[in-house]
Amino acid sequence: MKKGKSSMTQPQATDTGLLPDPTLDSKAFKKQLMDRLRARGGTESVDTKQLFQRMVKETLEAFLELEMEEHPGYPKHDPEGRGSGNSRNGATAKTVRGDFGEIEIETPRDRNASFDPKIVGKRQTSVGNFSEAVISLYARGLTTREIEAHVKEIYGVEISPQFVSRVTEELQQQIVEWQNRPLERIYPIVFVDGLRVAVRTDKGVLKKCVYTVLGVGLSGKQEVLGLWIEETEGARFWLKVFNDLKARGLQDILILCGDGLTGLRNAVESVFPQTDVQLCVVHHIRNVTKFVAWKDRRPLCAAMRPIYTAPTVEAAALALDRFEQAWGSRYPMSVNGWRQHWNELTTFFDYPVELRKMIYTTNAIESLHSQMRKNIANRKVFPTDESVLKILFLNIRNFTHRWTKRQGWDIVMNQLLTIFGDRLRSDLVDSL
C-alpha cells in the first residue's frame, strides 16, 4: 500500500453508512451491523480488512479531533477561537501501522505547534501491539531483515530498518532506568557469571563478556541486579561493578557465588568485607578437565565427586588426597587446580546441607544464560554494545516476571538467620 493513497475503493466497504452507531450496546451494535451487511448482499460483498481499517481510522481521528478541541478549549469552526492567540491550522496526513495493517490518518494542527496528541503522538508511527510485536521478535534474536520479512508476511506491511531501530531505541531509556534502579539493602545470596558475545568494533570483531549479577532477596525471589559488558575482567572492573551496586543502595552480601573470575575476590572484599566467596564447583570441574584425554574424563570426574559431596571439609580433604594418588601423576594440573583454590571451593561446607545445595554452583544464573544463548544464537555478531544490552534486557524482562520464591527458601532463611542474625534481623523485619 503506497503512502498517501487509500486502497479502500469498494463503496460497500468505505461507506460510513455500513458502520453501526458506536453508542449502541453490544447486542444492538451487532444486530445493526448484520442488518446492514444483509442489505448490501451479505458478507462476501464486504472486504473485512478494509472495513476494520476504516473503523480504526475513524476512531483514531475522532480521538485526535476531541484532543484538539480540549487543547485550545473550543470546537472546530467556533468563533470563540478568533483572537485567542492560537487557532487551528489544518491537518497533517501520516501513515500509522498496527495489527490491522497500514492506514493514513489526519492529525489536526495548531498555529503555535503546541498541540501534542496522546492517542497517536507526534512522531508515533505504530499503534496497538505492533511495536510490541517488533520488540518481541527482536528479543527472540531475529535480525532486522528477518523482522522486516516476518512483519510483511504476517501483517502485510513493509517496514524499514530505520523503523525497527526507532522501536528498539525506545528501550534505551528503560534500560538506563533499570540499570540505575534502587536495590534492597541486603541480598543474602548473589550469583555472578558471564556470557560471551561477539561485537563489531573499530578494531574488528571482538569477543566480549556480558557479566550478569543475580541476587536472591530476603523474600527468596531472584532478581537480576544488573548487566555489565567488558572485553577484559580484573579487580578494577569488579571494583566498579560492586561500587555501582553499593551506590544503588546495596550494603551487604552474605554469600557471593561465582566462577573463578579474575580479581573478583579482591574486589568484593574491598567493598563488602564480610562477604563469604564460593567458587562454582561445576565451573571448576570443567576447567580442570579441559586438558584431560576424552577417554579419561568420565573416570576422572567420578574420582572427583567424593570431594564436593563429602559431609565435611575434613572428609573432602581426604577425598582430594585419594584423587591425587589415583590421578596426580597423570594429570597434576587437575590436582593443583583444587589445591590452589581450596578455600574458595570449600566455603559451602561451612553451611547446612540445604544451603550448600544452593550455593556450591551458579546453576541459578546458568539457567538464565542458557535461555539467552538460545535467543541470540542467530546473532553471530552484534553491531554495538548497546544492541547486546537491549536484547539481553528484553530476555531478562520476559523470563524473570515468572520467577517466584526459591524452593525450600523458608528453611534456608531460618538457617541464615541463625548464622547471620545480627546482619539480617532488622532488614527482615522491615521487609515483612
On the question of pLDDT at 238 being above 50, the answer is yes
On the question of pLDDT at 322 being above 90, the answer is yes
| Out of 17-26, 84-93, 161-170, 292-301, least confident range | 17-26
359-415 pLDDT, tens per residue? 999 988 988 898 888 878 777 888 888 888 888 998 888 888 888 899 899 999 999
Higher pLDDT, 16 or 154: 154
Query: Residue range 204-233: average pLDDT?
Result: 91
User: Average pLDDT of the chain?
Assistant: 82
How far apart are the C-alpha atoms of 88 and 76, rounded to whole Å? 8
Higher pLDDT, 100 or 291: 291
23-60 pLDDT, tens per residue? 667 777 778 778 877 777 766 666 666 766 777 777 77
Residues listed for the chain: 432
pLDDT value of residue 1: 40
pLDDT value of residue 321: 96
How far apart are the C-alpha atoms of 123 and 96, rounded to whole Å? 10
